[in-house]
């Protein structure tokens, strides 16, 4: 399982109160509680040596020891109390927990329901706000069930997958790594044997899936993607496209991750976005029509004008 920087920060914030509340905890016990290896936990403890508190005195280091396999923490009273959630954090957590509970085949549904009930009882107004959010898990229930079975049994998947950017269906074998919920959508992350790289597959774009009688085999050293920087992560080979949007086309800036966005007045915007496929940029430009104008790259903008002229000629 991949550990992102936000995962580690959350673990570090929880580690000190966890140890302080128990006086002494073994490294093995703490590693099991946080779902990490003992080596990863020792790395966290080494990082905690670098922390300094502003209270009670400036530059007061946390007094931490884990010699002999037992962890003790002192001089950390100001962060020893359990973390408290704000109203917005509690509402977001409730929505996320409900989404997890709705995943087909979830073995932890009963436990999640109990957690939701306890959190709702403690959250007050935040719980009421969370109830106003409709939670629908996208993706076909059958596909997600097959993916979960493959993850549970460690087997490879055969997918038929719709690639929206190229408007085509592809077939590929994938060694599954994990299921993610990002921005309300469910994804399968796995080692794609066709691309020979880690890929994310939207569950609602998997048109068919089959668990193969072959053991999944992710190459050594391959890790999941760190999504802290967003779902889309560009590369040096990407097309960098500049659009000027009319007021009616501003939705593009909200719908797609933009590298930059500049107001031009009268509701117009100039945005720069990156795409791995120039065909997708051409398709978007044609679909937008008079809502936007592709400015750069110049060669691609010329191709779009040619596409538009040929399409218009069909109507004359």
pLDDT per residue as tens digits for the range 208-254: 999 999 999 999 888 887 766 556 666 667 888 999 999 998 888 87
Evaluate if residue 172 carries a pLDDT over 80: yes
Across 42-46, 68-72, 230-234, 306-310, least confident range: 230-234
The reported pLDDT for the residue numbered 45 is 78
Please give the Cα distance from 300 to 279 (Å, whole number). Answer: 9
Give me the mean pLDDT over the 162-188 stretch.
81
pLDDT bucket at 86, cuts 50 / 70 / 90: low
Per the DSSP assignment, residues forming a β-bridge with 199 are: 190
Among candidate residues 60, 61, 67, 81, the one with its CA nearest the CA of residue 13: 81
Q: Alpha helix (H) ranges present in the chain?
A: 5-20, 27-34, 38-48, 87-102, 109-123, 125-131, 141-153, 251-255, 278-288, 298-313
The boundaries of every CATH 3.30.70 domain in the chain are 239-313
Side-chain-side CA neighbours of 168 within 13 Å: the count stands at 6
The reported pLDDT for the residue numbered 139 is 45
For the record, the structure tokens of 106 come out as: 């979830």
pLDDT bucket at 171, cuts 50 / 70 / 90: very high
With a threshold of 0.85, does the pTM exceed it?
Answer: no
Angle between helices 109-123 and 87-102 (to 10 degrees): 160
pLDDT bucket at 42, cuts 50 / 70 / 90: confident
Q: In percent, how much of the chain has pLDDT > 90?
A: 17
Question: What CATH number has the domain spanning 5-79?
Answer: 1.10.10.10
Pairing of strands 260-265, 268-275: antiparallel
The boundaries of every CATH 2.30.30 domain in the chain are 141-229
Residue 199 in contact with residue 174, Cβ under 8 Å? yes
Winning range, highest mean pLDDT, from 183-187, 212-216, 311-315: 212-216
Query: Could you report the per-residue pLDDT of 286-304, keeping only the tens digit for each?
Result: 888 889 999 999 999 999 8
Give me the mean pLDDT over the 80-84 stretch.
53
Contacts 24+ apart (CB under 8 A), 121-129: 122/90, 123/85, 123/87, 123/90, 123/91, 123/94, 125/87, 126/85, 126/87, 126/88, 126/90, 126/91, 126/94, 127/90, 127/91, 127/94, 129/87, 129/91
Burial 168-189 (b: 16+ CB within 10 A, else e): eeeebbbbbbebbbeeebbbbb
The reported pLDDT for the residue numbered 242 is 94
Question: What CATH number has the domain spanning 239-313?
Answer: 3.30.70
The reported pLDDT for the residue numbered 19 is 80
For the record, the structure tokens of 229 come out as: 């920087």
pLDDT bucket at 56, cuts 50 / 70 / 90: very low
- Any residues with CB less than 8 A from the CB of 167 and at least 6 apart, and which? 283
For the record, the structure tokens of 105 come out as: 């085949």
Query: How far does Cα 271 stand from its chain's mean position?
Result: 24
- Class in CATH terms, 141-229: mainly beta
Please give the Cα distance from 14 to 38 (Å, whole number). Answer: 16
DSSP element (H, E) containing 67? none
Residue 175 in contact with residue 218, Cβ under 8 Å? yes
The reported pLDDT for the residue numbered 210 is 92
Give me the mean pLDDT over the 247-273 stretch.
86
DSSP element (H, E) containing 247? none
Residue 79 in contact with residue 53, Cβ under 8 Å? yes
Residue 245 in contact with residue 251, Cβ under 8 Å? no
The reported pLDDT for the residue numbered 314 is 81
Higher-confidence position of 14 and 133: 14
Q: In percent, how much of the chain has pLDDT > 70?
A: 66
Per the DSSP assignment, residues forming a β-bridge with 61 are: 52
């Amino acid at each position: 399982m991949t550990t992102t920087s936000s995962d580690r920060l959350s673990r570090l914030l929880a580690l000190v109160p966890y140890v302080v509340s128990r006086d002494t905890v073994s490294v093995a016990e703490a590693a099991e509680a946080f779902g990490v290896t003992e080596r990863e936990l020792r790395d966290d403890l080494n990082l905690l040596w670098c922390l300094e508190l502003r209270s009670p005195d400036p530059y007061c280091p946390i007094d931490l020891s884990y010699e002999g396999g037992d962890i003790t923490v002192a001089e950390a009273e100001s962060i020893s109390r359990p973390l408290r959630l704000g109203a917005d954090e509690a509402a977001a957590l409730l929505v996320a927990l409900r989404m997890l509970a709705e995943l087909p085949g979830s073995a932890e549904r009963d436990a999640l329901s109990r957690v939701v009930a306890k959190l709702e009882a403690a959250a007050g107004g935040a719980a009421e706000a969370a109830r106003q959010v409709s939670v629908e898990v996208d993706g076909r229930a059958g596909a997600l069930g097959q993916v979960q079975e493959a993850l549970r049994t460690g087997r490879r998947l055969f997918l038929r997958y719709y690639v929206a950017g190229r408007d085509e269906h592809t077939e590929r074998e994938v060694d599954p790594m994990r299921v993610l919920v990002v921005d309300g959508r469910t994804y399968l992350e796995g080692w794609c044997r066709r691309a020979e790289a880690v890929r994310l597959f939207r569950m609602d774009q998997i048109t068919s899936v089959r668990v193969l009688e072959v053991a999944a085999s992710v190459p050594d050293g391959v890790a999941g993607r760190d999504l802290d920087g967003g779902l889309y992560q560009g590369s040096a080979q990407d097309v960098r496209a500049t659009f000027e949007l009319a007021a009616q086309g501003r939705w593009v800036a909200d719908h797609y991750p933009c590298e930059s966005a500049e107001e031009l007045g009268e509701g117009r915007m100039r945005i720069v976005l990156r795409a791995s496929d120039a065909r997708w940029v051409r398709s978007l430009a044609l679909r937008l029509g008079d809502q936007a104008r592709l400015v750069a790259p110049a060669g691609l903008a010329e191709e779009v004008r040619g596409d538009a002229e040929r399409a218009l000629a069909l109507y004359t």
